[in-house]
């Protein structure tokens, strides 16, 4: 999943970090961290509900600080 997200967000570099959870409780959830809010917002708008592993992803800003913005990524329930 990390490599897939890295490829998906490659146009919005630099990506500071990708954390993808594989445990049962958080499976299908990931956090993609960008160095700046503008890049993160652009990525979130343009990726929209891109189908990831057959389900549209849902992204939202989850953390905001002066130097970092993290998007929470999750598979949309059907």
Show the domain range for 68.
2-75
- Asked if residue 16 has pLDDT above 80, the reply is yes
Look up the CATH number of the domain holding residue 9: 3.30.70.330
CB neighbour class for 43 (10 Å; exposed up to 12, middle 13-18, buried from 19): buried
CA pair distance 59, 13, nearest whole angstrom: 17
Calpha distance 71→34 (Å, rounded): 8
Indicate the pTM of the whole model. 0.72
User: Taking Cα atoms as reference points, which of 53, 63, 65 lies closest to residue 74?
Assistant: 53
- Confidence tier at 46 by pLDDT (50, 70, 90): confident
Q: Residue 73: is its pLDDT beyond 70?
A: no
Residue-averaged pLDDT of the chain: 76
Helix (H) / strand (E) element for 46: namely: helix 37-47
Number of domains in the chain: 1
């Amino acid at each position: 999943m990390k490599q897939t997200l890295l490829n998906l967000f490659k146009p919005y570099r630099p990506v500071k970090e990708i954390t993808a959870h594989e445990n049962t409780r958080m499976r299908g959830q990931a956090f993609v961290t960008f160095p700046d809010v503008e890049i993160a917002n652009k990525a979130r708008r343009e990726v929209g509900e891109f189908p990831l592993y057959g389900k549209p992803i849902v992204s939202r800003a989850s953390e905001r600080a002066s130097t970092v913005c993290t998007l929470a990524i999750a598979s949309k329930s059907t």
